[in-house]
Amino acid sequence: SEIRAVKIISEQGIASGIRRIEAVAGEAFIEYINSRDSQMKRLCSTLKVKAEDVTNRVDNLLEELRTARKEASDLRSKAAVYRASVISNKAFTVGTSQTVRVL
C-alpha cells in the first residue's frame, strides 16, 4: 500500500509537549478534497463571487451586519426616547405632582 497524498486536517495540544494530529490519506484524502471543493462551490454560488473573493465577501457581509445591528440598536434607543417624550407631553399637573394618563 502506498500513500500518495496526506492532508493534515487538525492539530491540537493534548498534554505538555504532546500534539494530536489528524490527517487523511489515500482515498479519504480524495473524498476530503472533493467535499471541500463542493462546499466552496456552494459558497461561491450563494455569495455570487469567485473562490478567491469568498473571504473578502464574507468580511464585507459581516461588516454590513455589524453596521445594521448598530443602526437598529440606535433606532430602538431613539424610538424609546420619542415614546417617553410623547408620554411626557401628555402629562398634566395634579396638585404638586405631574401625572400621566395613557389610554
Residues 71, 74, 75, CA angle at the centre, nearest 5°? 85
Provide the 8-state DSSP code for 51.
G
d(CA 19, CA 11): 7
Query: What pLDDT, on the 0 to 100 scale, is given for residue 100?
Result: 63
| Contact (Cβ atoms closer than 8 angstroms) between residue 22 and residue 8 | yes
Q: Has residue 76 got a pLDDT over 80? A: yes
All residues at 6 or more sequence positions from 19 whose CB lies less than 8 Å from its CB, including other chains: 11, 12, 13
Q: Which pTM was predicted?
A: 0.66
Cell of 64: 454590513
- Over residues 21-58, the pLDDT tens digits come to 999 998 899 999 999 999 999 999 999 999 999 999 99
Domain ranges of the chain: 6-99
Mean pLDDT of the region 54-79: 97
d(CA 57, CA 44): 10
